[in-house]
Amino acid sequence: MWDTLIVTPMTNILLLIYSLVGNFGVAIILFTILIKIATHPLMAKQIKSSARMQELMKSDEWTKIQAKYKDDKEKLAQEQMRIYKEQGVNPLGACFPTLIQFPVIIGLYQSINRVMGVSPLQLVDLVRSITDPAWAWMGQIFPAASIGALLPINTQFLWMNLGQPERILADIVPFGGIPTLAIIVGLTTYIQTKLTVMPSANPNDQSAQMTKMMGIYMPLMLFWFSLNFASGLAVYFIISNLAGIAQYAALGKVNWRNLLSFRSQSQPEPKSKSTPAKKSKK
């Protein structure tokens, strides 16, 4: 089911782009941007929802109920729900769009991985995707998208073989060379996290701590993936990061000051000056 609905269609669209542009690196870049554009409305909704939630949590009313009902969790939850209702904020609004995007991200990744397969078993999956009855028409309409024309995929892009982990100066530098792409992946992931994390009302609360941890672990995790696996995936990570920053920038939500700030991302203004409670019907 997952394969039929997500991975096979994505694989075929990626291959169609490849058959049109003739370069797999460019195809990955275009495909990633295409997916980002297609999921942008969801992303925009998530960003706006997160921003409203952050604003709400900075409000006087929110702070007051936190203090007032700190020993009565049930009452606190009721009051929080009341404020959500009054402000027209859906507490899950930031999560649902992310959850919907999640299969798309995994599917995109898996389809890139499938196309770059070099072992016989991986090629079986790839050929099966191309010859899937729902997609076989592609090769009939576009001869460039038929098996004979598509395979083997040319995985050479710039100085990289997209099917292999990337290193430069492998013959000179010890330990197999410099993993340029993995370093760029780590940096762009870190930069994206720094630029797009919204200031927290309370830097010590659990979600702020978690966001901070994600800001550390995600760049390290993606750096490690890029270090060890096919460089085509690293290209995808980099473009995905840059497109993510562009999405936030388009909505005016990029926090440029955070880039050079190494302190906790707390709100810059005192809590008492925040004013979103104006909307309150109270």
Partner 1 sequence: MKFQRIALPLMIVFLALGLSACGGFFATQNFPGLVLDDDILYISSGSHVHAVDVTNGQEVLLGNAPLRFPKDSDNNIILFAPVALTDGGQMVVPNSHPSKHGLYSIERATGNVRWTFEGSKGTWIAGALVLNNTIYAPGGEGILYALDMNGNERWSVKLSSNGLMAQPVTNGELIFVPTMDGILFAINPANGSQIWQRELNGPIMAPPLLDEDGNLYIGTLSGRMFSLQAASGAVNWEQKLDGTIWSAPALDGETLYIGVMVGKEGRFYALQRATGAIRWQRSEEGSILASPLAFDGKVLFVTELGRVQALSGDGAPLWQADLKGKLVSVPVLAGDLILIVPMQGDDLLVAFDVNGAQRWKFKP
| Helices 231-250 and 206-228, packing angle to 10 deg | 140
By beta-carbon proximity to partner 1, the closer residue of 13 and 130 is 130
Shortest gap between Cβ of 272 and partner 1 (angstroms)?
22
> Which residue type sits at 132?
D
Q: The tokens 């409000």 sit on which residue?
A: 59
Q: The tokens 């930031």 sit on which residue?
A: 94
Q: The tokens 């203090």 sit on which residue?
A: 67
Shortest gap between Cβ of 175 and partner 1 (angstroms)?
12
Shortest gap between Cβ of 260 and partner 1 (angstroms)?
26
By beta-carbon proximity to partner 1, the closer residue of 17 and 215 is 215
By beta-carbon proximity to partner 1, the closer residue of 94 and 184 is 94
- Interface residues with partner 1 (CB under 8 A)? 91-92, 94-95, 98-99, 102, 105-106, 109-110, 113-114, 117-125, 127-128, 131-133, 146-148, 151-152, 154, 156, 163-165, 206-207, 210-211, 214, 217-218, 221, 225, 228-230
By beta-carbon proximity to partner 1, the closer residue of 29 and 53 is 53
Residue 133 neighbours by CB under 8 Å, 6+ apart: none
Q: Of 148, 248, 160, 164, give the one whose Cα is nearest residue 198.
A: 248
Distance (Å, rounded) from C-alpha 51 to C-alpha 233? Answer: 31
Shortest gap between Cβ of 30 and partner 1 (angstroms)?
21
